[in-house]
Chains A and B, each alone.
Chain A
Amino acid sequence: MSTLKVTRREMLAAMAAAGLSTGFYPKAALSEDRKVLRVRAYADIQSLDPAYRKAAPDDDVMRNIFPGLATMTPGDEWKWQPDTVSRLEQVDPTHIEFTLMDGLTWSDGYGPVTAEDVKYSFERMISPEVDSPYKGDWEALDHVEVKDEKSGVIVLKGPFPPLWNVGLVFGSGRIISKKAVEAAGGKFDTKPPAQCGRYLLKEWLPKQRVVLVRNPDWPGEPGAFEEIHVVPIEDEKTAELGLEAGDLDYTWVSVSSIPRYTENPPRNASIVVKPSLAYVWLGMNQQAAPFDKLEVRRAVQHAIDVPAVLEAAYFGAAAPATGLIAPGLIGHREKTLFSYDPDKARDFLKQAGMEAGFECTIDVLNKAERISAAQAIQANLAEIGINVEIRQHDSGTFWSLGDEKSGDSWKTLQLIISRFSMQPDPSFATDWFTPEQIGVWNWERWNSPEYGELNSKAKLETDPAKRHEMYVRMQDLMEESGSYVFLTHEAVGVGQSNTITPALMPNGNPIFYEFKPAA
Chain B
Amino acid sequence: MLSYGLRRVGLAAVITAVALALLISMIQLIPGDPAAVLLGPLASPEMRETFRVQMGLDQPTLVQIIRFFGRALTGDLGTDVLTNRPVLLTVMEQFPFTLTLIVASLGWSALIGIPLGAWSAIRRGSWADSLVGILSVGSIALPSFVVAVYSLLFFSVTLGWFPTIGAGEPGRPLDQLYHLVLPSLAVGLGWVGYLARMVRASMLEVLGENHIRMARAFGLPERFITFRYALKLAIIPTVVLLGVGMGHMISSAVFAEIVFARPGVGRLIFDSIATRNYPVVMGAVMITTIFYVFCTLCADLVAAWLDPRVRASL
| A residues adjacent to B (C-beta < 8 A) | 22-23, 25-26, 29, 43-44, 46-47, 54-55, 131, 133-134, 136, 189-190, 205-209, 231-235, 238-239, 241-242, 244-248, 393-400, 403, 405-407, 409, 420, 432, 440-441
Given A26-B160, A234-B271, A395-B274, also A403-B258 (CB < 8 A): no
**Cα(A416)–Cα(B163), bound, Å:** 40
Q: What chain A residues lie within 8 Å of B260 (beta carbons)?
A: 238
Taking the closest CB of chain A, its distance from the CB of B174, in whole angstroms, is: 8
Given A47-B83, A207-B267, A244-B157, also A238-B170 (CB < 8 A): no
**Cα(A406)–Cα(B45), bound, Å:** 11
> Is there contact, CB below 8 Å, between B263 and A208?
yes
Query: How many A-B contacts are there with CB distance less than 8 Å?
Result: 143
Q: What chain A residues lie within 8 Å of B41 (beta carbons)?
A: 420, 432, 441
> Is there contact, CB below 8 Å, between B37 and A207?
no
Partner of B273, one of A239, A396, A409: A396
Taking the closest CB of chain A, its distance from the CB of B25, in whole angstroms, is: 17
> Is there contact, CB below 8 Å, between B165 and A242?
yes
Q: B153-180 interface mask toward A, CB cutoff 8 Å, 1 = contact, 0 = none?
A: 1001100111111110010000000100
> Is there contact, CB below 8 Å, between B263 and A206?
yes
Q: Which residue of A lies closest to B33 (CB)?
A: A406
> Is there contact, CB below 8 Å, between B33 and A405?
yes
Q: Which residue of B lies closest to A208 (CB)?
A: B263
The 6 listed contacts between A and B (C-beta, < 8 Å) are A26-B163, A46-B82, A207-B93, A207-B263, A245-B163, A396-B37
Q: B257-284 interface mask toward A, CB cutoff 8 Å, 1 = contact, 0 = none?
A: 0111101100110010111100000000
Cβ of B31 under 8 Å from chain A = yes
Partner of A242, one of B38, B40, B164, B268: B164
Given A189-B83, A403-B36, also A133-B47 (CB < 8 A): yes
Given A208-B263, A395-B37, A396-B274, also A440-B83 (CB < 8 A): no
> Is there contact, CB below 8 Å, between B165 and A248?
yes
Q: Which residue of B lies closest to A409 (CB)?
A: B31
**Cα(A453)–Cα(B38), bound, Å:** 30
Q: B72-99 interface mask toward A, CB cutoff 8 Å, 1 = contact, 0 = none?
A: 0000000000111100001001100000
Cβ of B14 under 8 Å from chain A = no
Given A207-B268, A235-B261, A441-B41, also A241-B275 (CB < 8 A): no
Q: What chain A residues lie within 8 Å of B186 (beta carbons)?
A: none
Cβ of B214 under 8 Å from chain A = no
**Cα(A246)–Cα(B157), bound, Å:** 8
Partner of A245, one of B32, B160, B271: B160
> Is there contact, CB below 8 Å, between A133 and B43?
yes
> Is there contact, CB below 8 Å, between B48 and A405?
yes
Most buried by A among B32, B152, B162, B166: B32
Cβ of B135 under 8 Å from chain A = no
> Is there contact, CB below 8 Å, between A131 and B161?
no
Q: What chain B residues lie within 8 Å of A131 (beta carbons)?
A: 44, 46-47
> Is there contact, CB below 8 Å, between A205 and B170?
yes
Q: Which residue of A lies closest to B82 (CB)?
A: A46
Given A46-B82, A235-B258, also A400-B36 (CB < 8 A): yes
Q: What chain A residues lie within 8 Å of B164 (beta carbons)?
A: 238, 241-242, 244-245, 247
**Cα(A231)–Cα(B273), bound, Å:** 21
Given A233-B165, A407-B33, also A207-B157 (CB < 8 A): no
For the complex of A and B, the 6 pairs showing the least CB-CB separation, nearest first, are: A406-B33, A396-B32, A207-B263, A133-B42, A397-B32, A400-B33
**Cα(A208)–Cα(B176), bound, Å:** 12
> Is there contact, CB below 8 Å, between B83 and A238?
no
Q: What chain A residues lie within 8 Å of B43 (beta carbons)?
A: 133
Q: What chain A residues lie within 8 Å of B112 (beta carbons)?
A: none
Q: Which residue of A lies closest to B42 (CB)?
A: A133
Given A396-B275, A399-B37, A432-B41, also A46-B83 (CB < 8 A): yes
**Cα(A247)–Cα(B85), bound, Å:** 30
Partner of B45, one of A43, A399, A440: A440
Q: What chain A residues lie within 8 Å of B35 (beta carbons)?
A: 405
> Is there contact, CB below 8 Å, between A406 and B94?
no
> Is there contact, CB below 8 Å, between B90 and A206?
yes
> Is there contact, CB below 8 Å, between B47 and A206?
no
- B260-314: which have CB < 8 Å to A? 260-261, 263-264, 267-268, 271, 273-276
